[in-house]
Homo-oligomer: A and B are copies of this chain.
Amino acid sequence: MGADRRIPVVILGATGAVGQRFVQLLDGHPWFRVAGLAASERSAGQAYGKAARWFLPEPIPEWARTMEVVPCRPGIDARLAFSGLDASVAGGIEEEFARAGCAVVSNSRNHRMDPEVPLLIPEVNAEHLDLVETQKRRWRGGGFIVTNPNCSTIGLALSVAPLHRAFGIKRLVVATLQAISGAGYPGVASLDILDNIIPYIGNEEEKMESETLKILGTPKGPAAFGVSAHCHRVHVSDGHTLAVSVETEQRTTAEEATRVLGEFRSPLAPLGLPSLPERPIEVRDEPDRPQPKHDRMAGKGMTISVGRVRPCPVLGLKYVALVHNTIRGGAGAAILNAELLKAKGLL
């Protein structure tokens, strides 16, 4: 592989649910090459195919199956670390890698609300990358941390961003129907979710309420409007559904909002980021879409789908949004962030 000029990357927490998605989505990536699969001491030393209890429907890539798992310590030959670590350990390990000069692109929540850490959706707030320079002073080694939003937040923030830009958001209420894969693996016990709903996901509502404002704000500070979230776990494998009611600063109609959502395009298209979907948002006009089973894989899982845009008798406008929670709402989001870093010369 002497001629492989792709950037060597390490996946932190490679055996977990998010880690597996990183492995799957980085398989054959044109810019990045997985140079290390890092996990807990317990897994280190084993072949990845042994250490990871692979649960994705797609087969485990052959190179990954046989690669030896290493512990989550700097020293791996990699300029970039993707972190799918559990929040209980992510904080410290990510800082260690930043201090060691690594660009850490994290899916974990630990640093998301740090004012010096960008909470990034490339199509929405690429300008938050400016925070990287500020942040670099902190870690000395030249490393830094960049994060992507929580899996349900991204569906909200990305769908509401064009409306925010066009009309201003005054306040919004969102109810979620979240897939079990969002809880990791093994995650939700089958006895708890078969023929059932769990109307609670720890800290999820708080995350949606705060992260959304940070994303839609400026590098200097969060946006200031009311967000209220109701979060539910439902019996769906992948794909979070969001029912959103929103009040805009400037009044609008369902037709106008539909147009704004449908015309939304990423200003980053010219950069040629491999994971950037053609359309960040797909607006559907069937009365009963989007649906997780049919629409979660839109844009290879990187496009969110919006449907049922209609008047809300209380807040003015309502719609349904769907996001693939482990691709656009997880590993795919982090990879897109890393691609943006590279394109901007930050790697």
Seen from chain A, the residues whose Cβ lies within 8 Å of a Cβ on chain B are 55, 57, 59, 171-173, 175, 177, 180-181, 185-200, 209, 226-228, 230, 232, 234-237, 239, 241, 243, 245, 287-294, 297, 307-308, 312-315, 318, 320
Contacts and interface: CB of A to CB of B under 8 A. Distances in A.
Contacts of A292: 195-197
A314 B189 contact: no
A231 to B, nearest CB: 9
A198 B188 CA distance: 17
Give the copy number.
Answer: 4
Nearest to A56: B294
Given A57-B294, A234-B234, A307-B199, A227 B190 contact: no
Given A172-B314, A234-B177, A194 B190 contact: yes
A172 B186 CA distance: 36
B191 A314 contact: no
Contacts of A315: 173, 228
B187 A187 contact: no
Contact of A190 (B57, B180, B226, B314): B180
Contacts of A241: 197, 199, 232
Contacts of A287: 200
Given A172-B314, A230-B175, A243-B230, A235 B194 contact: yes
B192 A195 contact: no
Given A173-B245, A196-B292, A197-B239, 18 more contacts: A55-B189, A55-B192, A173-B173, A177-B232, A180-B190, A180-B194, A187-B190, A195-B237, A195-B293, A197-B236, A199-B241, A199-B288, A199-B308, A200-B288, A228-B312, A228-B315, A230-B245, A230-B318
A187 to B, nearest CB: 6
Contacts of A187: 189-191
17 contacts: A55-B192, A57-B294, A59-B294, A173-B245, A177-B232, A177-B234, A186-B192, A188-B189, A188-B190, A191-B237, A194-B237, A196-B291, A197-B239, A199-B289, A199-B291, A200-B287, A235-B235
Given A188-B189, A190-B190, A245-B173, A291 B197 contact: yes
